[in-house]
Amino acid sequence: MNQTPKLRRSVLYMPGSNARALEKARTLDADALILDLEDSVAPESKDIARQQVSEAAGAKIFGHRELIIRINALDTQWGPADLEAAAAARPDAVLLPKVETRHQLIDARDRLIAAGGNRQQKLWMMAETPRGILNLDDICAAPGLDAVVMGTSDLGKELRVSTAQPRTGLLGTLSNSILVARAHGLDILDGVYPRVAADADFRGSCEQGAALGFDGKTLIHPLQIAIANEIFGISEAQAIHAEAMLKSWQKARDAGEGIAVHEGKLIEELHIDEAKRILALFYTASK
Q: What is the pLDDT of residues 9-67, one digit of tens each?
A: 999 999 999 999 999 999 999 999 999 999 999 999 999 999 999 999 999 999 999 99
Report the pLDDT value the prediction gives residue 259, as an integer from 0 to 100.
85
At 265 the pLDDT is: 92
Task: Please report the pLDDT score of residue 1 as a whole number.
Answer: 42
Share of the chain above pLDDT 90, in %: 94
Q: How far is CA 30 from CA 55, 88, 218, in A?
A: 20, 24, 10
Exposed/middle/buried for 20, CB within 10 Å: 0-12, 13-18, 19+? exposed
Note the pLDDT tens digit of each residue in 132-148. Answer: 999 999 999 999 999 99
Helices 236-254, 269-286: inter-axial angle, 10-degree rounding: 140
Q: What is the band of 119 on the pLDDT scale with cuts at 50, 70, 90? A: confident
Quote the CA–CA distance of 98 and 151 in Å, as a whole number: 8
Distances (CA, A) of 7 to 69, 112, 216, 273: 18, 25, 8, 17
What is the per-residue pLDDT for 150? 98
Structure confidence by residue, pLDDT tens digits, 250-270: 999 999 988 899 999 999 999
Q: What does pTM read for this prediction?
A: 0.94
What mean pLDDT comes out for the span 184-189? 98
Q: Is there a cis peptide before residue 130, judged by omega within 30 degrees of 0?
A: no
Work out the pLDDT band at 2, boundaries 50, 70, 90: very low
Mean pLDDT of all residues belonging to the chain: 96
Q: What is the mean pLDDT of residues 97-119?
A: 95
61 backbone dihedrals φ, ψ, rounded to 5°: -100, 0
Confidence of residue 115 (pLDDT cuts 50, 70, 90): very high
**What's the mean pLDDT in 222-249?**
96
Q: 156-166, pLDDT tens digit by residue?
A: 999 999 999 99
Q: What is the pLDDT of residue 118?
A: 82
Alpha helices in 64-197 (DSSP H): 79-89, 102-114, 130-134, 136-139, 152-159, 171-183
pLDDT tops 70 at residue 214: yes
In 136-224, where does DSSP find H-type helix?
136-139, 152-159, 171-183, 200-212
Q: What number of other Cβ atoms are within 10 A of residue 181's Cβ? A: 24
Flag whether pLDDT at 4 surpasses 90: no
